[in-house]
Amino acid sequence: MPELPEVETTLRGISPHVLGQRIAEVIVRRFDLRQPIPSDLAEIEGLEITSVSRRSKYLLVQLSDGSHLLIHLGMSGSLRLTDTAEAWKKHDHVALTLGAGKQLRFHDPRRFGIFLHLKEKDPTQHPLLALLGPEPFDEAFSANYLMQAIQQRSAAIKNVIMDAKVVVGVGNIYASEALFRAGISPRRKANRLRLLDAERLASSIQEVLREAIDQGGTTLRDFLNSDGQPGYFKQRLFVYDRKGQPCRTCDETIRHCVIGQRSSYWCPRCQK
């Protein structure tokens, strides 16, 4: 599933090619995604793309009339730039024809993605975005904030940092890896963390996400970078998916359990 680093990679990949471009034509081949694609999407024809940004795992494409496209890659979606003449792939559902013979195509085999047109001026108030917690790289996401956000929570810390109301973008892989680097067991109750733990954890979350973004996103099934090449980089993982293997730091055997219905991995010696 595309995670925050893949979405950020997509944003950086498409931005230089779509900014300032006029949408000459909208082609929709299938409307039935997780939420239906608006039947009047063609009304954005003629508008220019004035900015592209990311909020959590949503891409926001601002148009010259002040409206926005809200795009989510779902479980298996990708955006890529193609030549307009290039043959359509199976599961290419939407294309925006831009200048210079290029199209931005939305591809989504499992159709859990979202492709909406938001006409309100402030897209951050849309129900999908309004309740999201801070971005991991925002100043608002500090150790003090994290400490406050988890104080009343008795659930396992791993569950809590994966809650988008606490902080966005910490998927299962990144939660496991950040907790390893912070030396915190994924099973520890959130309200048992001390400020020092929260400091380490906030930094570790930023660190693992930053590294994944820097290296172009981890290799994930179905993910294509925006130039159409398969994701090429697999982040060096310390614990995730390493059940029974030796810890890279201390040689102890990596353990596995299920927390909140998600596979969780940790080193019992490095993480307390």
234 binds Zn ion (CB under 5 A): no
Per DSSP, the residues of 105-165 read: EEE-TT---EEEEE-SS-GGGSHHHHT----TTSTT--HHHHHHHHTT--SBHHHHHT-TT
Q: Closest separation between CB of residue 95 and Zn ion, Å? A: 48
Binding span for Zn ion by CB under 5 A among 15-23, 35-43, 60-68, 242-250: 242-250
Binding span for Zn ion by CB under 5 A among 21-29, 34-42, 110-118, 263-271: 263-271
CB 31 within 8 A of CB 42: no
Q: Closest separation between CB of residue 268 and Zn ion, Å? A: 8
247 binds Zn ion (CB under 5 A): yes
250 binds Zn ion (CB under 5 A): yes
Alpha-carbon gap, residue 264 to 255, rounded angstroms: 8
Q: Would you call 62 helix, strand, or coil by DSSP?
A: strand
Nearer to Zn ion, 61 or 270 (CB): 270
Q: Closest separation between CB of residue 242 and Zn ion, Å? A: 11
Per DSSP, the residues of 228-246 read: SPBP-B----SSTT-TTSB
48 binds Zn ion (CB under 5 A): no
Catalytic residues: 2-3, 57, 262
Binding span for Zn ion by CB under 5 A among 168-176, 198-206, 221-229, 248-256: 248-256
DSSP state of 262: E
Nearer to Zn ion, 199 or 252 (CB): 252
**For Zn ion, how many residues bind (rule: CB under 5 A)?**
7
Per DSSP, the residues of 2-55 read: --HHHHHHHHHHHHHHHTT-B--EEEES---SSSPPPTTGGGGTT-BEEEEEEE
φ/ψ bin of 101: left (φ > 0), alpha (ψ from -120 to 50), beta (otherwise): left
179 binds Zn ion (CB under 5 A): no
Binding span for Zn ion by CB under 5 A among 11-19, 112-120, 135-143, 245-253: 245-253
Binding residue for Zn ion, selected from 47, 126, 252, 256, defined by CB under 5 A: 252
* CB-closest chain residue to Zn ion: 247
Binding residue for Zn ion, selected from 15, 249, 253, 263, defined by CB under 5 A: 249
Considering only CA atoms, give the Rg of the chain: 20
- Contact positions toward Zn ion, by CB under 5 A? 247, 249-250, 252, 267, 269-270
